[in-house]
Amino acid sequence: MEEQRPHKKVFTPHQAKLKAEAYCAYQERSQQEVRDKLYEWGLHLEDVEQIISELIATNFLNEERFATAFVLGKFRIKGWGKIKIQQHLKAKRVSPPLIKAALQQIDLDEYEQKLTTIIEKKINGDIQQLTIQDKAKLIRYLQSKGYENALIFEKIRV
């Protein structure tokens, strides 16, 4: 017996605009996230682009504000480095100039302090006592968090 899934509800452009306003008011969104959501709600290209432009005009949607909030949130809360943040913003189709401007919001002293804190948490002791394998493992971990190699090596002094 074949199981039937309920069909997704299709919204009128007016209903979708109201839902999109609520969606954007809840937290900052990129244009691509909103665009994907509108398509998911069964709207067509013309309606989607019209709603996007109305959301921008009413300041529900602001790509620069989104990029800044994303960068600072991922850095301060998740401890991500600039490389990982940049990759995720590119995946959300944020323009390179906006990515660059948003990344400049990160204070360099705070950035280096965050990296030092992550290293201290990870090693639980003296960095000089680590074996080569442990240092390699630590380096891979920090790279996966999105930190730059030059900064990692400077902090660990390999």
Give the residue extent of every domain in the chain.
Answer: 9-61, 63-106, 108-156
Under DSSP, the state recorded for 81 is -
The CATH class of the 9-61 domain is: mainly alpha
Cβ proximity of 156 and 128 under 8 Å: no
Least confident of 68-72, 91-95, 108-112, 121-125: 121-125
pTM recorded for the entire structure: 0.86
- Residues with Cβ < 8 Å from 119, sequence gap 6 or more? 127, 138, 142, 155, 156
């400077």: which residue's tokens?
154
Tell me the pLDDT tens digit for each residue of 63-84.
999 999 999 999 999 999 999 9
